[in-house]
Chains A and B, each alone.
Chain A
Amino acid sequence: MPNKRGQAHFVAELEDTPVAAIDRLDESHKARSTWADAWDSMRRRPMFWISSVLILIIALVALFPGLFTSVSPNLDCQLSNSNGGPEAGHPFGFTRQGCDVYARTIFGTQASVTVGLLATGLVTLIGVVVGSLAGYYGGWLDAIVSRIGDIFFAIPTILGAIVLMSVLPAATPTSVAFVLAIFAWPQIARIMRGAVLTATNSDYVMASTALGVSKFRILMRHVIPNSIAPVIVIATVSLGTFIVAESTLSFLGIGLPTSVMSWGNDISQAQTSLVTNPQVLLYPAAALSITVLAFLMLGDILRDALDPKARALR
């Protein structure tokens, strides 16, 4: 019975194996990668398309906020509109300062998404480099790197970020992302290290070594591409949690300065008029939650698609 790769599937003694069986290998049949299989299983799920479309829209809003509103979030504020309800052209009503809530929600996207993306990028970069070096080369490098990772891992991300942010002057989206990444990288590094350890002991790595491929080249061409899947799943989910973390820091008053428009800042400022005008809090909070939700759903779907155990069950 031919399997996916077009090979005949049977067990026979070596001397009984007819040479013809090898000739029968269909070499035009392309080997399917993990990613092609994952794509096949993902595209059949409506959740994948829902979260992808949401993320696309969020990316558009973050890149070109001007396309979605003609009202300025800062300049068109009129105190006479303070805490006003929705009206024509201002569907979400007004803040305490009389600014348009819809425009502020749209323009707040950029800072929040930037922090999330940048922090995720940094964490993935540090985690993949550190984790693969530790897992692949082992020895003293692994020992040192793993102990340093343990130290950072012992400090919960937000607790560390609170300490660091409360002493750092003037935060920007970049500095917030760096601070979050400093305390969050060990998680990815640990996962990467584990995956690299497994991949290093596999047959294809031994085959490459036997063929005389250099150690570093094996790491780059074979080990890392085969270990990156679990990291991508965690990175997708953590993008959402970084956005939540940024808003939490802003809520505590140690995140982005109030001059920077972000969902966290807007939610934080909305506390003062919460009882009289809850919509000022609801809309930026809803925007933030939808963004986080989109990345969580995508992470779930990626996990289902990339997890070999889950695939075997299906």
Chain B
Amino acid sequence: MLWYTGRRVLQMIPVFFGATFLIYFMVFSLPGDPIAALYGDRPPAPGVIEQIRAQYNLDKPLIQQYLIYIGNFFQGDLGTTYSGRPVSDVMAGAFPITFRLAMLALVFEAFAGIFVGLVAGLRKGKWFDASALVVSLLLISVPTFVLGFLFRLVFGVQLGWFRTTVSSEAPWGELILPALVLASVSFAYIVRLTRASVADNLNADFVRTATAKGLSRRRVVTVHVLRNSLVPVVTFLGVDLGSLMVGAIITEGIFNINGVGGTVYKAIVLGESTTVVSFIAVMVVIFVLANLLVDLLYAALDPRIRYAK
């Protein structure tokens, strides 16, 4: 296991540098000038442009720019937004809110998803299974932002159960509705995954053995079927972090939450490249780390993985 862990950590290093360089390259060397975008239709004086370019190291060769950027990145300096605020400052304020939102969403999708998937898998082909399948397909095919609008319209405006925008403190109660929207797609995937896995395991030899030796149905389902079915689900929850971060951009944008996603949303709309690049670089790092954790977890749960190759 130690050998496997070391190998995976080493593999992650080029991925980290490659991915951050790719993002940096896309933002700062492709057509489309971030400085020009800053000024809109009226171009500023040439001297001003030069000064700003120097200030953001845009006058140096690309590889040097990137090295300066990544060096600062490791020292916790993520650059400044065009309005002069340090990106790390913005992030420190935004992260706790998004963390709470993501936790709520994760708890919801895990518990509700596994429960619905388990019941559907145990009753494969019955009406509950059929309707769970239809609902999960619908949730996947409706884009998150449409669902966000609909939830806000129905539960916020028409029924008045929730506030339509979240206040800057983002108390738990106000985060429930956005968390449901954020969790919806992953919830559907977890239902499908759990259902398929439960239905598969019900036919497994170890389940037949457990039943044959006289264990109660309840014990067979909870100990033998469910526990074995959870392996793919647990790994999905880790990978899902990536889609949660994307979803947070949309959901926080719609509900006006001042989290990471909401900040990225506003930065995209305003065309603030440094902010977008820094935030997405951090998101990619989180995603890479989460993938690493999932791989290790998977190897711990299923020994066949770490001995392969």
Contacts and interface: CB of A to CB of B under 8 A. Distances in A.
Interface stretch (A69-77, A164-172, A220-228): A164-172
B245 interface: yes
Interface residues on A, range: 35 or more
A160 B276 CA distance: 11
Contacts of B265: 252
Contacts of A178: none
B149 A274 contact: yes
B5 to A, nearest CB: 17
B15 A166 contact: no
Contacts of B34: 167
Contact of B269 (A252, A281, A290, A313): A252
B195 to A, nearest CB: 12
Residues of B in contact with A, size category:
35 or more
B141 A154 contact: no
B204 to A, nearest CB: 11
A98 interface: no
Interface stretch (A99-107, A115-123, A129-137, A291-299): A291-299
Contacts of A156: 242-243, 245-246, 283-284, 287
B283 A267 contact: no
A292 B137 CA distance: 9
Given A155-B19, A169-B31, A275 B157 contact: yes
B14 A248 contact: no
A62 interface: no
Nearest to A154: B19
A278 B22 CA distance: 40
A26 interface: no
B271 interface: yes
Nearest to B146: A285
A245 to B, nearest CB: 9
A112 B34 CA distance: 28
Contacts of A274: 149, 153
| List of 8 A-B pairs having minimum Cβ-Cβ separation, nearest first | A151-B18, A292-B141, A156-B242, A293-B141, A167-B32, A154-B19, A285-B146, A158-B246
Interface of B: 11, 14-16, 18-19, 22-23, 26-27, 30-32, 34, 137-138, 140-146, 149, 153, 157, 203, 242-243, 245-246, 249-250, 253, 264-265, 268-269, 271, 273, 276-277, 280, 283-284, 287-288, 291
30 contacts: A150-B15, A151-B14, A151-B19, A152-B22, A155-B284, A156-B243, A156-B245, A156-B284, A158-B246, A159-B242, A159-B245, A159-B283, A159-B284, A160-B22, A162-B276, A163-B23, A166-B273, A168-B30, A168-B32, A169-B32, A244-B143, A252-B265, A253-B269, A267-B145, A274-B153, A288-B143, A289-B138, A289-B142, A293-B138, A297-B137
